[in-house]
């Protein structure tokens, strides 16, 4: 039951201090105001910011342990549309904003929202994200950038950056995000919280706007592993409205949480970990390896062919953008998306898309179209699918002998906002892209806070066999007990 979550819930001060000038939330619920209002539990207004954006923001003080946030990609019956932080949808919402906003409120809840509601959890708002979940920085959201609550000159990471920042600053005990390449685990590591996406198909995606369907996962952020077990138990399971959701029974993750990991076989993927240049991150990673050995796990070094690891980013880029092109084709201004009328239907589509999508989205969709075009399909899209298969087979080989693959989550701390103007500059290496392995193979993957560098959180990454979420949670739980980094907040709220 989600009531059991966390030791502290909603903290207003965390919200106020971290987000005084910035918007980790893109929509919130219950009433409207021209600005961002925070109420205490007796409904007294305790904090107000006006004219931050054209949006309306209100948070009512649910002030309990079970408030939660979802990424602005997930549909909800109550409250606002899933804006995906993009103009085509946002402008469409605005068109209808007056007089009757209910026109653009989704007509159903995402499955995950229904499940949480059933448990008595209370939705507080929808979190900011990179436009269409395409990005790693949360600097490309329509509602503005999200900063790192540990240091506001740094990025929170993305694309689920709002969800990460709101948990890291103590606003809510958990939040939901989506992860197509690493969009939960990267920001979780940068923000010092636990981030987990289970096996592909373990959680229903009904009501979640798709990015790349063969890679998309719903997952969560929490401040400790036990909370993650609770949230996962709530969200996992079959949903007949999502034909990709698994019929496998859901184990009782919480009851089965076990810090005894004697005999668990852990593979340290040296091809990735050797790439770390920062000596504190390297020492921290070695310490984690030692702790696991002391706990009785069997830890061994392994490698993967470097050419396969180098192929991870290009393979992902082709597949993700191709699938996105197909998924987002409906945003043509005819039935979906903001319309800019032209003389002919083609002009309308061109004008709507030209006006609606940002430069980075356009370049991704053009790339996707290129890879899917008749002339290129075989040598781009189909080839990428074949390379994906080779990567998955290589991972399957490793899982014949090991239960977990262990790597550093990243070789850096959250970059300065100024350093990431070009979203790709900090992440074109094997080290910064290997989390995508978890998406290509659909593996349960978790990032766990493991220490600090210059006052900024760093993390390790644990990846298990498909549907063996429990092993991943148990190893993380055992590690967390020793590392002593659970329930971290960026500041005292």
Interface pattern 16-55 for ligand GLN (x via CB under 6 A): ----------------------------------------
Place of tokens 């929808």: 126
CB 182, min distance to ligand GLN, A: 5
- Shortest Å, Cβ 349 to ligand GLN: 24
Q: Which run of H or E residues covers position 47?
A: strand 45-50
Nearest to 178, CA basis, from 145, 141, 204, 216:
216
Q: Which of residues 423-462 bind ligand GLN (CB under 6 A)?
A: none
Residue number, 150 or 211, with CB nearest to ligand GLN: 211
Please spell the DSSP secondary structure of 317-366, one letter per residue. Answer: HHHHHHHHHHHTTT-SSSSSS-----SSHHHHHHHHHHHHS-HHHHHHHH
Is 320 a binder of ligand GLN (CB under 6 A)? yes
Closest approach, Cβ 185 to ligand GLN, in A, equals 9
Q: In sequence order, what are the beta bridge partners of 403?
A: none
Query: How far is the C-alpha of 373 from the C-alpha of 380, rounded, in Å?
Result: 9
Q: Which is nearer to ligand GLN, 36 or 211 (CB)?
A: 211
* Shortest Å distance, C-beta 133 to ligand GLN: 4
Contact call for residue 210 and ligand GLN (CB under 6 A):
no
Which range of residues in 178-186, 234-242, 267-275, 380-388 is near ligand GLN by CB under 6 A? 178-186
Q: Which of 85, 182, 233, 323 binds ligand GLN (CB under 6 A)?
A: 182
Q: Does 179 bind ligand GLN (CB under 6 A)?
A: yes
Binding mask 142-171 toward ligand GLN (x if CB under 6 A, else -) reads -----------------x------------
187 contacts ligand GLN (rule: CB under 6 A): no
**220 sits near ligand GLN (criterion: CB under 6 A):** no
Among candidate residues 299, 267, 303, the one with its CA nearest the CA of residue 462: 267
User: Which range in 29-37, 116-124, 175-183, 248-256 contacts ligand GLN by CB under 6 A?
Assistant: 175-183
Q: What is the DSSP string of 215-282?
A: T-EEEEEESSHHHHHHHHHHHBS--TT-TTS--SPPP-TTTT-----TT-EEEEEHHHHTT---HHHH
Q: Looking at beta carbons only, is 286 or 425 nearer to ligand GLN?
A: 425
Q: Does 478 bind ligand GLN (CB under 6 A)?
A: no
Measured distance CA(416)–CA(114) in Å, rounded: 38
| Closest distance to ligand GLN from the beta carbon of 459 (Å) | 16
Distances (CA, A) of 317 to 304, 392, 463: 20, 16, 21
Cα angle, residue 215 at apex, residues 400 and 231 outer, rounded to 5° = 80
Provide the minimum distance between the beta carbon of 152 and ligand GLN in the complex, in angstroms, as a whole number: 22
Told to check if 183 binds ligand GLN by CB under 6 A, we report yes
Place of tokens 């084709």: 329
Among 29, 150, 211, 467, binds ligand GLN (CB under 6 A): 211
Q: What track of x and - describes contact with ligand GLN for positions 375 through 414 (by CB under 6 A)?
A: ----------------------------------------
Q: How far is the CB of 316 from ligand GLN (least distance, A)?
A: 7
Among positions 79-138, residues that touch ligand GLN (CB under 6 A) are 133-136
Find tokens 């395409």 and name the residue.
134
Per CB under 6 A, the list member of 180, 325, 409, 474 interacting with ligand GLN is 180
What is the C-alpha separation between 280 and 285, in angstroms, rounded?
9
- Give 10's DSSP letter: -
Output 208 or 267, the one with its CB closest to ligand GLN: 208
Closest CA to 454 of 424, 406, 416: 416
Please list, in sequence order, all residues whose beta carbon lies within 8 angstroms of the beta carbon of residue 331, skipping any fewer than 6 positions away. Answer: 88, 89, 337, 352, 353, 356
- Residues touching ligand GLN, count (CB under 6 A): 13
Which tokens sit at 231?
Answer: 């949230």
Interacting residues with ligand GLN (CB under 6 A): 133-136, 159, 178-183, 211, 320
């Amino acid at each position: 039951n989600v009531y059991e979550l966390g030791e502290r819930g909603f903290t207003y001060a965390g919200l106020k201090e971290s987000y005084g000038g910035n918007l980790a939330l893109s929509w919130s619920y219950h009433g409207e105001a021209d600005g961002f209002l925070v109420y205490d539990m007796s409904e007294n207004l305790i904090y107000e910011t006006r004219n931050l954006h054209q949006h309306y923001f209100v948070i009512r003080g649910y002030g309990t342990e079970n408030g939660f946030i979802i990424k602005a990609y997930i549909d909800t019956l109550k409250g606002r549309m899933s804006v995906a932080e993009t103009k085509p949808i946002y402008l469409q919402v605005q068109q209808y904003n007056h007089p009757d906003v209910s026109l653009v409120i989704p007509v159903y809840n995402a499955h995950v929202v229904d499940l949480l509601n059933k448990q008595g959890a209370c939705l507080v708002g929808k979190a900011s994200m990179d436009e269409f979940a395409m990005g790693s920085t949360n600097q490309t959201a329509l509602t503005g950038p999200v900063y790192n609550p540990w240091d506001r000159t740094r990025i929170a990471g993305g694309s689920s950056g709002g969800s990460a920042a709101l948990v890291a600053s103590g606003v809510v005990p958990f939040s939901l995000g989506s992860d197509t390449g690493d969009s939960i685990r990267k920001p979780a590591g940068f923000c010092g919280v636990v981030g987990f996406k289970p096996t592909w198909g373990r959680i229903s995606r009904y009501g979640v706007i798709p990015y790349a369907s063969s890679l998309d996962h719903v997952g969560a952020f929490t401040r400790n592993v036990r909370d993650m077990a609770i949230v996962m138990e709530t969200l996992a399971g079959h949903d007949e409205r999502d034909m990709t959701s698994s019929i496998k029974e859901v184990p009782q993750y919480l009851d089965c949480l076990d810090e005894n990991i004697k005999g668990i076989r852990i593979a340290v993927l040296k091809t990735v970990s050797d790439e770390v240049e920062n000596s504190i991150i390297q020492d921290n990673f070695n310490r984690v390896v030692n702790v696991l050995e002391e706990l009785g796990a069997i830890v061994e070094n392994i490698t993967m062919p470097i050419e396969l690891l180098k192929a991870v980013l290009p393979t992902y880029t082709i597949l993700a953008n191709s699938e996105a092109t197909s998924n987002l084709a409906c945003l043509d201004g005819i039935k979906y998306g903001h319309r800019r009328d032209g003389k002919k239907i083609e002009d309308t589509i061109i004008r709507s898309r030209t006006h609606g999508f940002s430069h980075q989205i356009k370049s991704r969709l053009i790339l996707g179209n290129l890879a899917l075009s008749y002339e290129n399909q075989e040598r781009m899209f189909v080839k990428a699918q074949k390379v994906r298969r080779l990567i998955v087979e290589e991972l399957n080989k490793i899982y014949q002998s090991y239960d977990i693959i262990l790597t550093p989550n990243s070789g850096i701390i959250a970059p300065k906002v100024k350093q990431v103007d070009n979203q790709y500059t900090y992440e074109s290496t094997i080290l910064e892209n290997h989390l995508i392995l978890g998406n290509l193979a659909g593996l349960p993957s978790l990032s766990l806070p493991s220490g600090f560098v210059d006052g900024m959180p760093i993390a390790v990454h644990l990846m298990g066999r498909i549907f063996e979420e429990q092993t991943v949670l148990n190893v993380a739980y055992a590690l967390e007990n020793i590392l002593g980094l659970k329930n971290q907040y960026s500041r005292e709220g």
